[in-house]
Structure 1
Amino acid sequence: MTAGDGAHWDRRYAELGPAPVGAVALPGVFAPHSSAFPTEGAALDLACGQGRIGLWLAELGLTVHGSDVSAVAIEQAAAAARQRGVSDRCRFEVLDLDGGLPVGPPADVIVCHMFRDERLDRALVARLAPGGLLAIAALSEVGAAPGRFRTRPGELAEAFADLDVVAAGEGSGTAWLMGRRPRSC
């Protein structure tokens, strides 16, 4: 991303203000499969925004490392973690994913909701612990017009073919996939 991208997202999150307390939850595409998420271990929440998913994971029992290009969003996420009493299990940092994934140990869960950079695909799979879960959602051409940031039909399944698919779908302009890294890796 460019410095302008960070400033754009800072303005957007400043305009939104802090996330409502009830907004801490899994996004709709993942919610029906919430039982697939572990209740302990380490989680990585990429492009975490205000930390809604990361906070849900922390409340589930995981230790969460969230990152986003927006300093405003990171401040809001950290404040929400303190408010919800999970700041001891959350670490949020400003990070431009153009430089790669944040440094850290293998993750039991990696969530990437509405952000995708295909240059990170291999790194995401490699970062998963054996048996670890990747939950990724991105804009899609399926049910929407093609666009610069939209995946083409079948792209997520193709990109993450090394994972055992737990659930996946495409439609209404969104593609998503939940997959586990095989334990034999």
Structure 2
Amino acid sequence: MTAFAEETGTAGSSGTAQRDDEEHTPVVESDAGGAEFWDARYSESERIWSGNPNTALVREVAGLRPGTALDLGCGEGADTIWLAQRGWRVTATDISAVALERAARHAEEAGVADAVEWRQADLSVSFPDGEFDLVSAHYLHSPGDLPREEILRRAASAVAPGGVLLIVGHAGLAPWEPTAHEGVPLPTPQEVLDALDLPAGGWEVQRCEEFERAQNDPEGRPATRTDNVLRVRRLPA
């Protein structure tokens, strides 16, 4: 993705990075964050990400009835395309016009272009209008002045009654990263939940936990990474 979220594997944007399976902008060490940076980053290669949907998205969404979805920081579009192939109508956002153009081409190749609306947006400045049955935010980590908590609270407000907010993030550093990323918070799922400040009695917490997944390091060697997932459902009115 790019609007700040994805996995590392070889590169980075949304931020981004070529990953073995995840599709949203990564944590990168740069004074980055803006469209110019991520456009340049995506322009370095014909493909930054693996093209596979995020494993947590597949696990958490496979059993939901398709409706409308908002994919925050869609990058090259793997999550968006996976959702569209399963009957969702998706609004997909990213800060990078280069990423969105590439994602739209991939959606056309997959035969789901009519099910997707692409929007260029810097989530730290603006947020898509409307309510959605699913709002998905994967790996929204970035250095600099990314107002992550504010963005996620806006994401919660965009969930329709009966809909789901899915937030996935890194629980800590990857095994190949010896030092912390300065200025990049990696909150626990409970800290993410607390920061949302959801109104009492209006939401159901369906999952709030860490999980392990396989991911290749930048040299292509197998490794295990710990991430976290928060899935909350807005109760019907």
Shift of 1:156: 1.5
Q: Which runs of 5+ in 1 are unaligned?
A: none
Q: TM-score, normalised by structure 1?
A: 0.83
Query: Letter of the aligned partner of 1:110 in structure 2?
Result: V
Structure 1 residue 170 corresponds to structure 2 residue 186: no
Aligned partners of 2:47, 2:84: CA distance in 1, in Å?
18
Aligned partners of 1:19, 1:59: CA distance in 2, in Å?
22
Structure 1 residue 108 corresponds to structure 2 residue 133: yes
Going from structure 1 to structure 2, the CA distance change for 1:87 and 1:80 (only over 3 Å counts) comes to same
Matches within 5 A, 1:1-185: 5-18=34-47, 23-25=51-53, 27-39=54-66, 41-103=67-129, 105-115=130-140, 117-141=148-172, 145=180, 147-153=182-188, 154-160=190-196, 162=198, 163-170=203-210, 172=225, 174-184=227-237
Contact 2:51 2:76 in 1 (8 A): no
**What SS does structure 2 have at the residue aligned with 1:12?**
helix
Q: Which runs of 5+ in 2 are unaligned?
A: 4-30, 142-147, 212-224
Choose between structure 1 and 2: higher helix proportion.
1
Contact 1:57 1:64 in 2 (8 A): yes
What is the identity percentage for the equivalent residue pairs of Structure 1 and Structure 2? 29
Contact 2:42 2:48 in 1 (8 A): no
Shift of 1:93: 1.9
Contact 1:100 1:120 in 2 (8 A): no
Contact 2:68 2:132 in 1 (8 A): yes
Q: TM-score, normalised by structure 2?
A: 0.66
Kindly tell me the number of residue pairs found equivalent between the two proteins: 180
Contact 2:71 2:80 in 1 (8 A): yes
Deviation sequence 1:75-94 (CA, Å, 0-9, x none)? 01110111111111111121
What do you get for the CA RMSD once the two structures are aligned?
2.7
Aligned partners of 2:235, 2:209: CA distance in 1, in Å?
21
Deviates more, 1:11-20 or 1:105-114: 11-20
